């Protein structure tokens, strides 16, 4: 074979491997999961994204895995039909994302207390309000730069977008209330929870941004990092930013 033919053959073979890899990722890893599209719900340069994290989920295959859910834009969080079992959502570029996370799962200490510190949010803080049950606040709302998961068992999971330097520990509900009355029917619409709010800016360009929980919450898996920690739709997700 001549050199140009070899080069072309190599490039074609390489392109085929890349196409195969893209197909596997798109079709098998993220393909079956719905993406909740918040782009048309954005206005005035802002968009509201609502998530919850639960001690279990409503899948038929792995119902005991901890899991996130994404709420349909502008829906009623007190209705189970408002929640989609996915971790994929889409937001516009150059937009302030106002995130609300309802933390229904109990606490697991972060393995490194570095995760206690809120990073990358506007103001470097979150606002946190505990609830005894839906619509029943417990104590007052606090704005804080840290949620100390070592001094108290206070953190359930984290929400982190490493490429945007956003790292947010997500508070767990009051431990006594959780032990007596935890939500056992996902998506959760009752039981004690922590409501946490924070904001960050999306970049001024489009792209795919992985997000991930960093508390090793995959119970029963090696070091807690398998299972839900390694699976889209549970503790790993993707934020698609569209220009
Ligand atoms: Cu987690």
The tens digit of pLDDT for each residue in 3-59 reads: 878 877 777 776 666 566 655 555 555 568 999 999 999 999 999 999 999 999 999
Residue count of the chain, please give it: 243
**Are both 21 and 72 inside the same structural domain?**
no
In total, how many domains does the chain have? 2
Q: Using alpha carbons, list the distances in angstroms from residue 150 to 105, 112, 186.
A: 17, 9, 28
**Are both 144 and 213 inside the same structural domain?**
yes
**Are both 143 and 68 inside the same structural domain?**
yes
**Are both 166 and 191 inside the same structural domain?**
yes
Say how many Å lie between the CA of residue 186 and the centre of ligand 1.
16
Decide if 48 contacts 41 (C-beta within 8 A). yes
**Are both 86 and 151 inside the same structural domain?**
yes
Say how many Å lie between the CA of residue 91 and the centre of ligand 1.
23
**Are both 123 and 179 inside the same structural domain?**
yes
**Are both 74 and 5 inside the same structural domain?**
no
Say how many Å lie between the CA of residue 152 and the centre of ligand 1.
17
At residue 29, the pLDDT reads 56
Residue 67 belongs to domain with CATH number? 2.60.40.420
**Are both 85 and 189 inside the same structural domain?**
yes
Say how many Å lie between the CA of residue 157 and the centre of ligand 1.
4
- H or E element: which one contains 142? strand 136-144
**Are both 161 and 54 inside the same structural domain?**
yes
**Are both 221 and 139 inside the same structural domain?**
yes
Say how many Å lie between the CA of residue 213 and the centre of ligand 1.
5
Nearest to 115 by CA among 215, 219, 229: 215
Say how many Å lie between the CA of residue 110 and the centre of ligand 1.
10
Say how many Å lie between the CA of residue 68 and the centre of ligand 1.
8
Say how many Å lie between the CA of residue 214 and the centre of ligand 1.
6
Tens of pLDDT, residues 173-210: 999 999 999 999 999 999 999 999 999 999 999 999 99
**Are both 85 and 176 inside the same structural domain?**
yes
Domain span holding position 114:
35-242
**Are both 6 and 47 inside the same structural domain?**
no
Nearest to 128 by CA among 161, 164, 162, 169: 169
């Amino acid at each position: 074979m001549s050199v140009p033919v070899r080069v072309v053959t190599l490039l074609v073979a390489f392109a085929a491997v890349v196409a195969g890899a893209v197909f596997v990722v798109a079709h098998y890893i993220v393909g079956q999961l719905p993406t909740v599209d918040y782009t048309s719900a954005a206005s005035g340069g802002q968009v509201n994204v609502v998530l919850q994290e639960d001690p279990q989920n409503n899948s038929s295959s792995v119902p005991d895995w901890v899991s996130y859910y994404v709420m349909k834009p502008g829906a009623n969080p007190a209705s189970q039909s408002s929640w989609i079992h996915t971790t994929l959502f889409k937001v516009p570029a150059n937009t302030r994302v106002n995130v609300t996370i309802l933390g229904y799962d109990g606490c697991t200490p972060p393995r490194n207390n570095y995760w206690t510190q809120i990073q990358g949010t506007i103001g470097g803080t979150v606002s946190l309000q505990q609830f005894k049950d839906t619509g029943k606040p417990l104590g007052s709302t606090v704005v804080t730069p840290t949620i100390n998961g070592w001094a108290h068992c206070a953190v359930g999971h984290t929400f982190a977008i490493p490429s945007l330097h956003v790292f947010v520990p997500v508070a767990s509900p009051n431990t006594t209330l959780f032990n007596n009355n935890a939500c056992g029917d996902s998506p959760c619409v009752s039981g004690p929870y922590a409501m946490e709010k924070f904001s960050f800016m999306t970049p001024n360009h489009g792209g795919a941004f992985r997000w991930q929980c960093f508390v090793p919450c995959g119970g029963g898996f090696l070091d807690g990092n398998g299972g839900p920690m390694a699976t889209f739709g549970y503790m790993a997700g993707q934020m698609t930013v569209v220009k």
